[in-house]
Amino acid sequence: MSALILTSVLGVILLYLGLFGGKKLLAPVGILGLLGAIALFVMDKQYINIPQFANMLSFDAMGISFSIGLLVITILIFIFGIDYYANEEKNVAEQFALMIFSVTGALMMVSYTNLLSLFLGIEILSIPLYILAGGKRNSMRSGEASFKYFLLGSFSSAFLLMGIALIYGVAASFELPKVMAMAATSGTNILFLLGCFFVIVGMTFKVAAVPFHFWSPDVYEGAPTLVTTFMATVVKMAAFAALFRFVTMIGMPAAVGKALLLIAIVTLLVGNITALRQSHFKRLMAYSSIAHSGFLLMAILSNSANTPSVLFYYTFTYALATVGLFIVFTVAKRAANGDEHIRIFRGLFRSQPWIGVMLLVMMLSLAGIPPFAGFFAKVNVFMLALGAGQIGLTVFAVVMALVGIYYYAVVVREAFTASENEPALVVAPTNWLVISLCGIAVLVLGVMPGWLL
């Protein structure tokens, strides 16, 4: 709870720093504050599983793991932000502060014990992102991204609230223990099931699962790259942790299980097949993210004792690779005068050999190639699905994983293809550091997955 308070106050501090002209201090102060929040989570072990904030939050082992993971990824994004906002003179403090406020909502989402705190967490996470997506004030694409995300996000919030209201009407409580007790005895109640479906609609929007994925490619493309990175990593981690908590709470009724199974199949199919046709890097990463949502839904469907650790390992290693790749993309985009086609990576290895190798490592991890972390993440998901008897779904997912290798290989091919006009890539020291950390981490966590699993 103290970490949650710290992040809330940290956002206000960053706003005041911006007010008094402390632009150079924004990222360092934000990083120190986030490190302090991590330290508080590590030290507050005596508060594990103790209900807090009027029984609305409880930081259990899963919640603490995801919270620390979210803060680590946010720190990497803040280090990226040092160079990203280096030439910006206005509204930089607001950008960092809004991300901190959004992280505060994410921390609530991974540890809620009350449906109202789930809704509050999602709204605290989302509202700053509606603003951040439109951060390029003179860009039509950025404004369009902000409007689409706000409009569709409002619809998803309406579905979520309707579902929570229906569940409350049956259980007469918002508290998860009481809802769980009701679900165990009256889990087939039609109003309860309808409420569950509405809540799942609202939450699958956040993870960009089909058919609630339409916002993702346009928002990824139009939003500033730093914001896209945040949405593709921090938001995804928090949303899947929250979805798993909800599914665990309702006990996975048969009707809900069938709906999630159908969503997982369609998400895997649409994400991977559509990604094959993408030549715009951000849109390719958006459909890649949708495909990964399908694999993660398989883990949630298994609903086993190992699901929380597999979810954390998958989302965290996916986030590491994604952060590194978006930074490489930013470097290549600058050298290509703003072009976002995947051809901007051509000649990358010859120009910056180390960055080219790191891109290869991170792409192979997302593709699920051994010995990188993405391979072991997928293998563990497949093992969970097989353990739950989902043999057909597992076979289909393996085929889709093989299909997915192609569109990652296209980017790698461009990076290792010689170019007559090789780009003059300038990599800032902070960007070089984050790219290296992300690339090395997905390799180390692939060789030694037991560190997280």
* pLDDT tens, position by position, 70-110: 999 999 999 999 999 888 777 788 999 999 999 999 999 99
| Cα distance between residue 156 and residue 159, in whole Å | 5
| DSSP-assigned states of every residue in 364-406 | HHHHT-TTSHHHHHHHHHHHHHHHTT-HHHHHHHHHHHHHHHH
Q: Are the C-beta atoms of residues 238 and 110 closer than 8 Å to each other?
A: yes
| Cα distance between residue 375 and residue 388, in whole Å | 20
* pLDDT tens, position by position, 126-175: 999 999 998 777 778 888 888 989 998 888 999 999 999 999 988 888 88
DSSP bridge pairs for 112: 57
Residue 312 main-chain phi, psi, to 5 deg: -65, -45
Dihedral sign from CA coordinates of 22, 24, 25, 30: positive
Question: How does residue 68 score in pLDDT terms, banded at 50, 70 and 90?
Answer: very high
Q: Where do the structural domains in the chain lie, given as residue ranges?
A: 254-453
| DSSP-assigned states of every residue in 34-47 | HHHHHHHHHH-GGG
Question: How does residue 253 score in pLDDT terms, banded at 50, 70 and 90?
Answer: confident
Count Cα atoms within 13 angstroms, Cβ side, for 325: 31
Distance of CA 109 to the CA centre of its chain: 12
For residue 361, CA distances in Å to 133, 232, 238, 380 come to 29, 19, 25, 20
Amino acid identity, residue 395?
A: V
- What tokens does 134 get? 């439109």
| Cα distance between residue 123 and residue 242, in whole Å | 13
* pLDDT tens, position by position, 177-236: 888 888 877 667 888 899 999 999 999 998 989 888 888 999 999 999 999 999 999 999
Q: Kindly compute the dihedral angle of the four CA atoms of residues 21, 23, 24, 25, in this order, to the nearest 10 degrees.
A: 80
pLDDT recorded at residue 50 = 63
Q: Are the C-beta atoms of residues 221 and 285 closer than 8 Å to each other?
A: no
The residue written with tokens 């490489």 in the block is: 328
pLDDT recorded at residue 21 = 73
Q: How buried is 55 (Cβ within 10 angstroms: 0-12 exposed, 13-18 middle, 19+ buried)?
A: middle
| Cα distance between residue 254 and residue 213, in whole Å | 24
- What tokens does 103 get? 């992280």
* pLDDT tens, position by position, 278-297: 989 999 999 999 999 999 99
| Cα distance between residue 282 and residue 278, in whole Å | 9
